[in-house]
Structure 1
Amino acid sequence: MTLLEQLGIKHPFLLAPMAGVSTPELAAEVSNQGGLGSLGLGASTASSAREQILKTQELTDQPFQVNFFCHQPAVLDAQIAQQWIDYLSPQFQKYGATPPEQLNCIYPSFLDNDDFLNVVLETQPKAVSFHFGIPHAHQIQALKAAGILTLVSATNLAEALAIEAAGIDVIIAQGIEAGGHRGIFNETFDSSVRTADLVQLIKKHCQLPIVAAGGIMTGQQAKVLLNLGADALQLGTAFVQCKSSNANIAYRKALFDQPITQITASISGRPARGLINHWHMQIDTPERPQVPAYPYTYDLGKQLHAAAVQHNDHGFGAFWAGSNVAQIRELEAADLINQLVLEMNFA
């Protein structure tokens, strides 16, 4: 059985599960057009995750995936945290704001407990994917027993081999070109492999189906990766501009006006690719101190962004985007899927 048959979709296009940007409406539009819609639920509570899944199921009877974070629990180093707060204090002062006295762990991990697992088992989406690592063995077994397909992001061959050994169904090959957070298991080490190279590496050494992710904006690019061994493609940046996404006006405008990206860990504590803004130009200086652990750093980053927005400055936004964002097109989800299929078939 092919991966498309396993997923129950017509076209080899998966919507990347972008936490904060994905919506039930966008997921349903992609699924209804023959792709695999998605919900990025890593920043959600269990109750919110349930609501979003149920809403999506109201909007489509087609398959879709949900996504969670599998980051290892981090202990916050108080000294590093204070150095970071002190370093960013002048930025808060610019906007007449006071930085927080302490940083909080704002995003739970799927590994912390089985709350998210129980929501998935209750609502029964077609597939569930994971970023930053692999679920516990008992969680994987429970998902398999329920007939729910599992996918995990790999940024290098070692991670792909670990994913296969854990009994996961599908490997998402996330190349360095991808927008948003790198799916690295070890946040201190990133192999930085290109999508095309990663697909070929995994194809040679693993038996599982491969979903290529990173830098895919056109059907021609998709065809190249399919020819290299990918079974399907996952696109995020191309869909951020859709009216049904949750991206704000400033984010949408920046995608078209300043389409140059860079990777930074300053926003969240983990490396992530986004549109160049204040973080890259003012914060990532040679004297920048060590960032606190993820997601504690994100707590401060979000508060600084909120303070700046009060003064109509959106330069501290987390405007995630892939390296080929300059090729973005203003198309709604259904039209974008159709265009990608057309380009792929005539590539």
Structure 2
Amino acid sequence: MTLQELLQFKHPIFLAPMAGVTTPQLAAEVCNAGGLGALGLGASTPAQALQQILATQALTDAPFQVNFFCHQSTELDAAQGQAWLDYMAPFFSRYHVTPPTALSCIYPSFLDNDDYLKVVLETRPKAVSFHFGLPHPQQIQALKAAGIVTMVSATNLIEAKAIEAAGIDVIIAQGIEAGGHRGVFNQAVDSAITTKDLVQLFKAHCQLPIVAAGGIMNGQHAAKMLNLGASAVQMGTAFIQCKSSNASLAYREALFQQPITQITSSISGRPARGLVNHWHTQVDQPERPTVPPYPYTYDLAKQLHQTASAQDEHHFAAFWAGTRVAHIRALEAADLINLVMLEMKMPS
């Protein structure tokens, strides 16, 4: 069965499930334009996830994916946490506020319990995707028994083979160009492979359908991935500027003003690519202490951004974006999909 038959989309364009950015409205607009819409639910509570899925289902009859995080939850080392709090304290002092004195685990993992799984089984979206790792075997079996298509991000061949061995249906090939968090779960190394090379590598060594993700902003980019063997492309940065996304006005404006991105783990505790700002130019100094694990570090980053933005300063924002952000166009979802499809048919 082809990926198109499996997921029943008209156009091979997937909306990336960006937590905090995707909305039921944006997901439905992509679906109704023939693509595969998405909800990034990793930062949502189970109740919020349920609400978003139901809201999307009320806006479209077309299939869409929902996404969760499968990070390995860890206890925070007290000394490491305190060292990070001490290092970041001066940045809070700039805004004349008292720095935080503790770090919280703000995002649970899909692996921690079956609360998110119950929401998915109750609402039955067409597909569920995972970032940062694989669900437990019994969770995968429950999803398969319910007829829900499963997808997992891979950043290297070892991860792709693990995805295939686990019985997952689709591999999302996330290249180094992708905006937002790297989906690395083979923690031995971040291979930093480009999307183009990942697609070719997975096509040569894996049997599962491949979705290319990372640095895809227009039809020419998409066509190259499909010609290399991808069954579809996943686009995130290109859709952030849509009015129906949850991105702030400052985020939208920055996408058109700042064409350079960089990866840092200082914002969340995991490597992630975003627009260059104070995290990259001021926080990531040689004397920076070891960053606490995800999502404890993210707790502090969100507090710092909230503090700064309250004073109309956005240099500590997590404005995630991919390497080709300079190619962004001001288009609503349906128009963007139609243009990408037209560009795919044009000679390069």
TM category, shorter: over 0.9
Aligned 8 A contact 1:187 1:270 in 2:
no
Question: Residue in 2 aligned with 1:64?
Answer: 64
Secondary structure, counterpart of 1:255 in structure 2: helix
CA shift, 1:189, in A, is 2.6
| 1:303-314 equivalences in 2 (<5 Å) | 303-314=303-314
Distance 2:99 2:61 in 1: 46
Distance 1:33 1:311 in 2: 39
Secondary structure, counterpart of 1:326 in structure 2: helix
1:299 aligns with 2:299: yes
Amino acid at match of 2:256: F
CA shift, 1:101, in A, is 1.1
TM-score normalized by structure 1? Answer: 0.99
1:177 aligns with 2:177: yes
Distance 2:138 2:264 in 1: 34
> Where in structure 1 do 4 or more consecutive aligned residues deviate above 2 Å?
186-189
Distance 1:173 1:157 in 2: 9
Amino acid at match of 2:279: W
Question: Residue in 2 aligned with 1:7?
Answer: 7
Distance 1:58 1:224 in 2: 35
| 1:9-24 equivalences in 2 (<5 Å) | 9-24=9-24
Deviations 1:249-277 (A, max 9, x none): 11001000112100000000000000001
Aligned 8 A contact 2:158 2:186 in 1:
no
Distance 1:17 1:278 in 2: 26
Aligned 8 A contact 1:187 1:271 in 2:
no
Distance 1:318 1:4 in 2: 33
Unaligned runs of 5+ in 2: none
Distance 1:104 1:188 in 2: 26
Question: Residue in 1 aligned with 2:244?
Answer: 244
Distance 1:151 1:309 in 2: 35
CA shift, 1:188, in A, is 6.4
CA shift, 1:237, in A, is 0.2
Secondary structure, counterpart of 1:5 in structure 2: helix
Aligned 8 A contact 1:15 1:234 in 2:
yes
Aligned 8 A contact 1:173 1:213 in 2:
yes
1:165 aligns with 2:171: no
Distance 1:125 1:155 in 2: 25
Question: Residue in 2 aligned with 1:44?
Answer: 44
| 1:208-247 equivalences in 2 (<5 Å) | 208-247=208-247
Distance 1:169 1:149 in 2: 6
Amino acid at match of 2:164: E
Distance 1:157 1:8 in 2: 27
CA shift, 1:186, in A, is 4.1
Distance 1:246 1:99 in 2: 28
Deviations 1:130-155 (A, max 9, x none): 00000000000000000000000000
1:112 aligns with 2:112: yes
1:257 aligns with 2:267: no
1:77 aligns with 2:50: no
Amino acid at match of 1:4: Q
Amino acid at match of 1:178: A
Aligned 8 A contact 1:31 1:62 in 2:
yes
Unaligned runs of 5+ in 1: none
Deviations 1:211-244 (A, max 9, x none): 0000000111111111111010000000000000
Question: Residue in 1 aligned with 2:290?
Answer: 290
Question: Residue in 2 aligned with 1:204?
Answer: 204
Distance 1:208 1:147 in 2: 17
Aligned 8 A contact 2:50 2:119 in 1:
yes
Question: May I ask how many residue pairs the two structures share in their alignment?
Answer: 347
1:98 aligns with 2:98: yes
Distance 1:227 1:11 in 2: 15
Aligned 8 A contact 2:177 2:194 in 1:
yes
Distance 1:9 1:204 in 2: 25
Deviations 1:61-89 (A, max 9, x none): 00000000000111211111111100010
CA shift, 1:187, in A, is 4.9
Structure 1 residues 188 and 19: CA distance shift in structure 2, 3 A:
farther
TM-score normalized by structure 2? Answer: 0.99
Deviations 1:37-76 (A, max 9, x none): 0000000000000000000000000000000000011121
Distance 1:186 1:145 in 2: 27
Aligned 8 A contact 1:64 1:125 in 2:
yes
